[in-house]
Chain A
Amino acid sequence: DQQVKQNSPSLSVQEGRISILNCDYTNSMFDYFLWYKKYPAEGPTFLISISSIKDKNEDGRFTVFLNKSAKHLSLHIVPSQPGDSAVYFCAASGRQYTGNQFYFGTGTSLTVIP
């Protein structure tokens, strides 16, 4: 049973516009969330994180929003650049999981069109 879901397998955005990637989770015990970016033939790389004590975290062009009541988080990229074209995974964890375990979503493939 998928505890972290990314319902949009793909997204296309024009360069300079905003990209919004969405992620939903079912486990109310999750309290820490990460976004990873993955290029073809490479491993995922960490992008940005958010704790459940916050509802927003910014890092340059990337902002993650968390809506705990809806069990929903989103990643905003503004402005989008062609180099942002990649697969984005969200991941979640909770205090009950030992070993810093994270559950990953299925990924959203973002294409930024020049």
Chain B
Amino acid sequence: NAGVTQTPKFRVLKTGQSMTLLCAQDMNHEYMYWYRQDPGMGLRLIHYSVGEGTTAKGEVPDGYNVSRLKKQNFLLGLESAAPSQTSVYFCASSYGRSSYNEQFFGPGTRLTVL
């Protein structure tokens, strides 16, 4: 099993450009998440999904959109990139049971917006 994979690993954008980050998981998890990690800020939740076709906002959703058309994939879109979106982006997934469950993380995507 590959676990959680993220595409691409690195990307450089110019201000105003758009892009989509792809997350895929092969663990049949119900829940998926997108985080960003910035120096001194820890991991902050952008958006999450509790199942195919559903999405919800996290702590820092502005400037991002997401889609979960298939259970195994969770896409993060930047419509008009800004330098403030320079960050490392992590995708995660977890089981969708009633009790708490650990989240499994992908390796991250390092995005630079010039």
Chain A residues in contact with chain B, CB under 8 A? Answer: 2, 4, 6, 9, 32, 34, 36, 41-46, 49, 51, 89, 91, 93, 98-107
Contacts and interface: CB of A to CB of B under 8 A. Distances in A.
Contacts of B50: 98-99
Interface of B: 4, 31, 33, 35, 40-45, 48-50, 56, 58-59, 90, 92, 94-96, 100-108
Given A43-B108, A89-B42, A99-B48, A49 B58 contact: no
Given A104-B43, A106-B42, A99 B31 contact: yes
A101 B41 contact: no
Nearest to B90: A43
Contacts of B95: 100
Contacts of B101: 100
A25 to B, nearest CB: 12
B24 to A, nearest CB: 14
Contacts of A98: 50, 56
A101 B58 contact: yes
Contacts of A49: 100, 102
B104 A46 contact: yes
Contacts of B94: 100
Contacts of B108: 41-43
A91 B102 CA distance: 10
